[in-house]
Amino acid sequence: MEPIGSSNPGFRNVGAAEVEGFRNSVDEISSKVNTLETRVNEVEQFYLTKGSLQPTTSTEKDRDKHFNSIKKQQQDTSRREAAAAKRMRDLLNKFSAIFKQITQHKWSWPFMSPVDVETLGLHDYYQVIEKPMDLGTVQSKMDGGGYKNVREIYADVRLVFKNAIKYNDDKDDVHVMAQTLLDKLEEKWLQLLPKVLEEEKRRADEEAQAQVDMKLAEEAAYAGMARDLGSELFEIDVYLKDLRKLVVQKCRKMSFDDKRRLGTALTQLSPEDLSKALDIVAQDNPEFQATAQEVDLDIDTLSDYTLWRLKVFVKDALKVKAQATAQVPESIGGHKVATSKRNRESCDTVAKPVKRTKKISAM
């Protein structure tokens, strides 16, 4: 890319400060575009994981409503968790009362500490009992906050007695004592169970609602991000157009010979590139019908901004076309391929037939 300055014949004398200003503007835009690209990729990835490349069809009012409710959802979540913790403490207190009745029973003493396998000579104990448990261990775990809910405590207390029943013969005193305490535990547990089930259902419902709220908040956040990205990209596009116009203002007026050469160059474009060139003209001239079957283009009526944009585009397009032509092999299957300008133009005409007539006037 040629630097802007006196060395470029397309520009008037431009000061070093102005050149540096243009460069800084381009660097700033490039940095901004890179940042936006990262955010665009993030939004695109979010919608790809949802199976759609487009944001949800919710209205802007709905999205704003979701946005405004994010903070409220967070507050509601905190309140729900605090209320759930209080209800869980109440259940724990109720079960603690049951546990206290069990541990204070006259037959609870054999189960208060781990089974002394070596002293009692129970060499096969660990072969029969997969998970040893005792009431003392349960108490320590309760005091240390090692249980997530009441059902876990109940399961361990029940395991204490189930192990004793399983290992000892049904006529053994320990077996009878364990069965008695287990029956007492089950009776008390059945009284508490409705509240436990109610709390479990409530927690499940709250967690499901929290998941829905989280998804809504996430969708609202990404929808807002997509909307903001659209606005920022539009602002950059406007800024770039203004910058291009500012740069063109520094250009000298195109001479008669420049316009004549530009008109000639336009006729050398491929049909596709010619259509793109006419689109450039239409961008600065809303009344110009670039897609009409027959177009009459008067170069003298075009603004300097459009002329210089056309010049840059035509130069690049013809360069690409020349490179593509140069890559055509000189022989195929032992037959020499003609590479004269007339033959190349004929090949281009056959390969890319003109669909509509374009009349271009340089006068």
Pick from 182, 115, 126, 195: which is nearest to 154 by CA? 182
By the 10 Å C-beta count (0-12 exposed, 13-18 middle, 19+ buried), 256 is classed as exposed
Does 332 score more than 60 pLDDT? Answer: no
Band the pLDDT of 68: cuts 50, 70, 90: low
Beta bridge partners of 335: 332
Residue with tokens 């299957």: 333
pLDDT at 128: 95
Distance CA 70, CA 55 (A): 18
Tokens of 122: 């129970």
Type of residue at 214: M
Model confidence at 245: pLDDT above 50: yes
Average pLDDT for 9-38:
68
Mean pLDDT throughout 118-142?
95
pLDDT value for 345: 45
CA–CA dist 216, 72 (Å, integer): 13
Q: pLDDT at position 288, please? A: 79
Please list, in sequence order, all residues whose beta carbon lies within 8 angstroms of the beta carbon of residue 84, skipping any fewer than 6 positions away: 199, 202, 203, 206
Of the ranges 31-35, 168-172, 251-255, the best mean pLDDT one? 168-172
pLDDT score for 173: 95
Quote the mean pLDDT of the chain.
78
> What is the average per-residue pLDDT within 277-301?
80
pLDDT of residue 112: 96
On the question of pLDDT at 330 being above 90, the answer is no
Mean pLDDT score, 175-194:
96
Beta strands in the chain (DSSP E): 294-298, 331-332, 335-336, 357-361
What is the rounded distance in angstroms from the CA atom of residue 26 to the CA atom of residue 9? 21
Q: Which region among 99-113, 155-169, 246-260, 342-356 has the lowest average model confidence (pLDDT)?
A: 342-356
| pLDDT given for residue 163 in this prediction | 97
What digits encode the pLDDT tens for the residues 40-63?
777 777 777 776 555 554 445 555
Beta-carbon contacts of residue 201 (< 8 Å; ≥ 6 apart): none
Taking a C-beta distance cutoff of 8 angstroms, is the pair 265, 314 a contact? Answer: yes
Backbone angles phi, psi at 295, to 5 degrees: -120, 130
Confidence of residue 33 (pLDDT cuts 50, 70, 90): confident
Q: Name every residue whose Cβ is closer than 8 Å to that of residue 156 and which is 6 or more positions away in sequence.
A: 133, 137, 138, 141
Q: Which range is most confident: 66-75, 202-211, 340-349?
A: 202-211
Q: Position of tokens 């008067």? A: 298
Q: What is the pLDDT of residue 339?
A: 46
- The dihedrals phi and psi of 187, each to the nearest 5 degrees, come to -65, -45
Across 96-119, average pLDDT? 95
Task: Give the whole-angstrom CA distance, residue 168 versus residue 160.
Answer: 13
Q: Which pLDDT value is given to residue 11? A: 47
Place of tokens 């585009």: 313
Closest CA to 184 of 158, 166, 163: 158
Helix (H, G, I), strand (E, B) or coil at 11: strand
CB atoms within 10 A of CB 153: 22
> What is the predicted pLDDT for the residue at 60?
53
201: tokens are 């259902």
Give the count of beta carbons closer than 10 Å to the beta carbon of residue 336: 9
pLDDT of res. 158: 97
- Provide the 3-class DSSP secondary structure of residue 336: strand
- Residue 347, classified by CB atoms within 10 Å of its CB into exposed (0-12), middle (13-18) or buried (19+), is middle
What span, in angstroms and rounded, lies between the C-alpha atoms of 318 and 320?
5
Instruction: Indicate the pTM of the whole model.
Output: 0.48
Q: Which pLDDT belongs to residue 218?
A: 72
What is the length of the chain? 363
